[in-house]
Chain A
Amino acid sequence: MQRRFVSIWFRQLLADWQLIRRPELAEVPFVFAAPDHGRMIITSVSTLAAEFGVETGMRAADAKAISPGLEVLDDKPARPRNLLRGLGEWCVRYAPIVAIDEFGMDGLLLDVSGCTHLWGGEQEYLKEVVTRLKSKGYTVRVAIADTPGAAWAVSHFGKVTPIIPVGGHVEAIRSLVPDALRLESTVLANLHKLGFYQIKSFIGMPRSVLRRRFGEDFLLRLAQALGTEDEVLVPLQVPLPFQERLPCLEPINTRTGIEIAITRMLESLCKRMQTEGKGLRTGVLTGYRIDGKVVQIAIGTSGPSHSVSHLLKLFQLKIDQIRPALGIELFVLDAPKVDDLEVPQEEMWTSKPGLDDQSVIRLLDRVAGKVGAEVIHRYLPAKRYWPERAVIRAGSITEKPASEWRVEKPRPTELLKQPDPIEVMALIPDHPPRFFIYKGVRHQVVKADGPERIEREWWLDQGEHRDYYQVEDDLGGRYWLFRSGHYGGDQKYQWFIHGFFA
Chain B
Amino acid sequence: MDNAKKEILFKLQQDILLWQGFKPQAAGKAELVGLGDIEQSFPGGVFPKSAIHEFITVLPEDAAASDGFIAGLLAILMKGGAVCVWVSTSRRLFPASLSTFNVEPERIIFIDVKTEKDALWITEEALKCEGLAAVVAELNNLSLIESRRLQLAVEESGVTGFILRKDASKTASTVATARWKISPLPTDTENGMPGIGFPRWQVDLLKVRNGNPGTFVLEWAGECFEQVKEAAVETVWSEQEGRQIG
A residues at B contact (CB < 8 Å): 352-355, 357-360, 362-364, 366-367, 370-371, 375-381, 387, 390-391, 394, 397, 400-401, 405-407, 410-417, 446-449, 470-472, 474-478, 499-502
Residue numbers in B under 8 Å from A407 (CB-CB): 99-100
Asked if A354 and B83 sit within 8 Å, CB to CB, the answer is yes
Report whether B106 and A413 are in contact in the complex, using a CB–CB cutoff of 8 Å: no
Does residue B185 face the partner (Cβ distance < 8 Å to A)?
Answer: yes
- Which residue on chain B has the smallest CB distance to residue A497? B60
Asked if B48 is at the interface (CB within 8 A of a chain A CB), the reply is no
Chain A residues with Cβ below 8 Å from B95 are 379, 391
Q: Using known A-B contacts A353-B82, A354-B82, A501-B199, determine if residue A413 contacts B64 with beta carbons closer than 8 Å.
A: yes
Assuming the contacts A360-B131, A377-B110, asked whether A478 and B196 have C-beta atoms less than 8 A apart, the reply is: yes
* With A359-B130, A448-B195: A416-B92 Cβ-Cβ less than 8 Å: yes
B30-65 residues with Cβ-Cβ distance < 8 A to A are 59-61, 63-65
A378 to B199, alpha carbons, bound, how many Å? 26
Residues of B within 8 A of A411 (CB): 94, 96-97, 100
**Complex contacts, B110 vs chain A, CB 8 Å:** 376-379
Q: Are A413 and B93 in contact (CB under 8 A)?
A: yes
CB distance from B144 to the nearest CB of A (A): 24
Given known A414-B63, A414-B67, A500-B63, contact A364–B109 (CB-CB < 8 A) = yes
Identity of the chain A residue whose Cβ is nearest the Cβ of B109 in the assembled complex? A378
Q: Are B107 and A363 in contact (CB under 8 A)?
A: no
In the complex, B122 has a CB within 8 A of chain A: yes
B88 to chain A, nearest CB (A): 10
Name 9 A/B residue pairs within 8 A (Cβ), A-sorted: A353-B131, A363-B85, A379-B108, A381-B96, A391-B94, A417-B92, A447-B189, A449-B195, A476-B183
Taking a contact as CB atoms closer than 8 A, the residue among B71, B104, B187, B200 that contacts A413 in the complex is B71
CB contacts (< 8 Å) of A381 on chain B: these are 96, 105-106
**B106 & A500 in contact (Cβ 8 Å cutoff):** no
Contacts of A477 in B (CB 8 A): 59, 61, 184
Contact indicator A476/B125 (Cβ below 8 Å): no
Set of chain B residues within 8 Å of A357, measured between Cβ atoms: 83, 131
Chain B nearest CB from A351 CB (Å) reads 8
Report, as a range, how many residues of chain B touch the other chain: 35 or more
B220 is an interface residue with CB less than 8 A from chain A: yes
Judge whether B224 is part of the interface by a CB distance below 8 angstroms. no
Q: How far is the CA of A61 from the CA of B10 in the complex (A)?
A: 109
* Alpha-carbon distance between A100 and B212 when the two chains are bound, in angstroms: 79
- B129 contacts chain A at the CB level, 8 A cutoff: yes
Q: Are A447 and B68 in contact (CB under 8 A)?
A: no
B111 at the interface (CB under 8 A from A): yes
B220 in contact with A375 (CB, 8 Å): no
A353 in contact with B184 (CB, 8 Å): no
Q: Are A359 and B64 in contact (CB under 8 A)?
A: no
Q: Beyond A448-B196, A501-B64, is A410–B94 a contact (Cβ under 8 Å)?
A: no
In the assembly, what is the distance between CA of A390 and CA of B61, in Å?
22
Q: Is the CB of A472 within 8 A of B64?
A: no
- Cα–Cα, bound, A478→B113 (Å): 28
Q: B245 touching A476 by the CB < 8 A rule? A: yes
CB distance from A297 to the nearest CB of B (A): 19
Pair B93/A391 contact, Cβ less than 8 Å: no
- Hey, which chain B residues are within 8 Å of A401, CB to CB? 106
With both beta carbons as reference points, the residue of chain B lying nearest to A382 in the complex is identified as B96
Tell me, yes or no, whether B126 is within 8 Å of chain A by CB.
Answer: yes
Question: Does B133 have its Cβ within 8 Å of any Cβ on chain A?
Answer: yes
Q: Specify which chain A residues have a CB less than 8 angstroms from the CB of B132 in the assembled complex.
A: 353, 359-360, 363
Chain B 175-197 residues near chain A, CB threshold 8 A: 183-187, 189, 194-196
Q: Is the CB of B129 within 8 A of A476?
A: no
B84 to chain A, nearest CB (A): 10
Q: Do B82 and A502 touch (CB < 8 A)?
A: no
Given A375-B111, A390-B96, A405-B99, is A358 in contact with B131 using a C-beta cutoff of 8 Å? yes
Residues A359 and B131 in contact in the complex (CB < 8 Å), given A364-B109, A405-B104, A475-B238: yes
- The 8 Å CB contact of A354, one of B81, B129, B196, B201, is B81
Q: Are B96 and A500 in contact (CB under 8 A)?
A: no
